[in-house]
A = this chain, B = another copy of it.
Amino acid sequence: MKIYFAGSIRGGREDAALYQQIIEYLKTFGEVLTEHIGDPKLTDLGDDGPTDNYIHDRDLEWLQSADVVVAEVTTVSMGVGYEIGRAVESGKKVLCLFRPDWGRNISAMIAGCADLVLVNYYDLKEAKTAIKEFLER
């Protein structure tokens, strides 16, 4: 199984360590195409490629080749929203993970979309349970 993990880069790297833990768990189910999203050396300058065109086209190719998309949506990110939009529009299975205790309002376009699965969670254990249920059903 090819898994596209989506998390914030230029929107903010507060959750980078959490992304890494989620990615490690996702790797027990298949290949994570976007493992660099959890890299602690990757900053909100988002220099994970030589140009923005390169980054976009590489990530889009990964997204299109993925069987499923798992997105951590607590940190507000234009890129994560874009990826979810393209994935939903092209009919892919999408899981969004959100931490309600972080004090942010989740977008109505994510919370109100019937074509994706949104799970609220409070710790890594709950995130893992949600991922397992989503990937194994």
- A-side interface residues toward B, CB under 8 Å? 9-11, 44-46, 48-49, 51-57, 59, 73, 76-90, 105-114
Contact = CB atoms under 8 A, between A and B. Distances in A.
Contacts of A90: 89
Contacts of A77: 76, 78, 81, 107
Contacts of A52: 108, 111-112
Contacts of A111: 52, 56
Nearest to A89: B89
A14 to B, nearest CB: 13
* Candidate in A55, A77, A86, A114 with the most chain B CB atoms within 10 angstroms: A86
A9 to B, nearest CB: 8
A53 B110 contact: no
Nearest to A87: B85
A56 B86 contact: no
A11 B76 contact: yes
Contact of A82 (B11, B55, B85): B85
